[in-house]
Amino acid sequence: MSQSHNGKVEQSCDYMQTGTKQSRLQTLVLKGGNLHLPTSSSELPQSLIKANQALATGRVREATRLLNAKVEQAIREIIEQDPSRTDIMLVLGMVFKQTRQINKAKEWFEKILKQEPHALVYNELGYIYQFMGHLSDAIQYQTKAVEAEPNNAELLANLARMLIVTGKTQEGIELFRKAVEADPANAAVHSNLLFYLHYQPKLDPYQLFEEHKRWGRIHAPASLAKVSHKNVPDPDRRLRIGYISPDFGSHAVMYFFESLLDGHNKKAVETYGYANVRAISETTERIAQKFDHYRNIFGVGDKDVVALIEEEQIDILVDLAGHSTDNRILVMAYKPAPIQVTYLGYFDTTAVQSIDYMLTDSIADPPGSQKFYTEELALLPDGFLCYRPADYAPPVTSLPADRNGHTTFGVLCNNRKINPNIMELWAEILKAKKESRLLLMFRTGNDPDMRNYYLSEFERLGIPNQRVAICGGTHHAEYLKYYSEVDIVLDTFPFNGATTTCEALWMGVPIISLVGELHVSRVGLSILTRIGLEFFAASTSKEYVAKATALANNHQALESLRASMRERMTSSILRDAKKFAGGVESVYRKMWHRWCRNSRLKRSASAKTKPL
């Protein structure tokens, strides 16, 4: 998935210096987000080495404990004796960054730059400033990194992400294309391009499909896939279901996947979790306990993960990430399980030929959608989402319009989904509903340049600044409280909300959604249909504006919806984990029955061709 409420900032996964200048920093390689230390690192404090090793397997809390004041003091003493040891400074700065000690990381990266300019350090400072919400500074450093190494695909991709965050979507996508050209073998950067293509104001399904198939041909050819498996073809036995994901933690995906995990019938399925989790948290540990078996595969090579899955004889392996950050779909390319499925974490085909199915529903992917997928669409009977709200979600408040004397429309989402086309429709709505306000809330909303960009865009569209409020990101519990100030949520298009849509509804706020042709543009309709509010999904831009305006003018309807929405959600399939999981298990069983039949037919055909 993309950037979520947990403040996760995406970075590319591999960096190797390509310059020719001799430097101590050349001995260090950043791979999978972690520094691989040279063999000559014995002079480093053991606690620092162990902290770096802990980070390589996602054990952030352990690394934080190891990185104490004594370690930092020991490093300072080494630097005092030899100020040229920029390699040691980089190790310490990286460990501070990954343990979220951002100010200390910034200090050490800046110390390095006083001695030598270096692309990796510019890149890391760009990350630091992005995390701090200072996007102009972040772009400056990312630009310097690219200038230092103009053909480094990872650095090009990092700058591309930053440009898209600031509204320069097309410029960012062109830079992503340049990154793919610079390193055609880099599957992660190529996946990034596929992911970010969905933020364009207009989506061409044929172009998207071709782009995905190109990825599949280059990085996951069918020749990699195993063609036979040792799984016992008993159609009715307990199934071993493996779920592989980078997001077993505080990530938006978990608001849906945890419901499935909770609802599984342990007699019918045995669950295995394969976690490619960069930072193990308390949420990670809680989710881990819900699996029958749980494996940490972060930092483990693809072929080793494949061997593990084969050894455990997983019957159905389910990818929960697609082309999102830290995915492991290259593992799927080897087909370690006889049946492979993609679900939930991505909104399009993976184009991995060895992935057999995609779990979806007939609303998100109506008849005619199959031609845009390499996977067979497996339609879930009651929708493809089941929502588990946060335990700390506050109660629903009274209607804000009663307190404020005006209607407040809200857009509380990843701002990469906001584009000029949808802003034009929001401006039309604000013009149609006199005295109404718009609340925009996204992670970088406190950045002055970002605020000025959106305020100037709305001013250009005829909406004065005093009618638009912009707020920055915060902790998820605080974020949910913002819904107490919103009367109606306006969905984004063509990239609909999913988690944010369910959160708005749980907080009592109705949402107006615009429906398109692709899955990514039909999630709003799928969710609204599950709670009987499909009327709030519009099929045209004109209808979108009209429905938002009509609802804003119907004060009684707004009050009634707000008062009843949480109960409406609670009593729907969106909250029925057992029923939802039962539907998923039924689809799994059909997949398994098909495989068993095919397996028997293959054995029978093989027996007939054997010589007497």
Residue closest to 160 by CA, chosen among 152, 6, 148: 152
Confidence class for position 6, pLDDT limits 50, 70, 90: very low
Q: How far is CA 118 from CA 16, 19, 23, 97, 150, in A?
A: 12, 9, 9, 17, 13
Domain limits, the chain: 14-211, 222-379, 400-573
Give residue 86's pLDDT.
87
Residue 359 pLDDT greater than 90, yes or no: yes
Give residue 286's pLDDT.
93
Give residue 4's pLDDT.
39
Name the least confident of 5-9, 224-228, 397-401, 442-446. 5-9
pLDDT mean over 443-463: 95
Residue 352 pLDDT greater than 60, yes or no: yes
Question: Strand pairing of 34-36 and 29-31?
Answer: antiparallel
Q: How far is CA 203 from CA 175, 352, 527, in A?
A: 18, 21, 21
Question: How does pLDDT run across 381-401, given as a tens digit for each residue?
Answer: 999 999 999 999 999 999 999
CA 551 to chain CA centroid, Å, is: 32
Provide the strand spans (E) within 145-292.
239-245, 269-275
SS3 assignment, position 80: helix
Question: How does pLDDT run across 85-136, given as a tens digit for each residue?
Answer: 888 888 899 999 989 999 999 999 999 999 888 999 999 999 999 988 899 9
Rg (CA), the chain: 25
Give residue 10's pLDDT.
54
Question: How does pLDDT run across 228-276, given as a tens digit for each residue?
Answer: 999 999 999 999 999 999 999 878 899 999 999 999 999 999 999 999 9
Q: Examine domains 222-379 and 400-573 and report if their fold is the same.
A: yes
Residue closest to 97 by CA, chosen among 117, 78, 123, 118: 123
Q: CATH top-level class for 14-211?
A: mainly alpha
Give residue 609's pLDDT.
57
pTM comes to 0.91
* Domain made up of 222-379: CATH architecture: 3-Layer(aba) Sandwich (3.40)
Task: Share the mean pLDDT of the chain.
Answer: 91
Edge-first strand order for the sheet with 29-31 is: 14-15, 29-31, 34-36
Other Cβ atoms within 10 Å of 336 Cβ, number = 27
Q: Per CATH, is 400-573 categorized as 3.40.50.2000?
A: yes
pLDDT mean over 429-434: 97
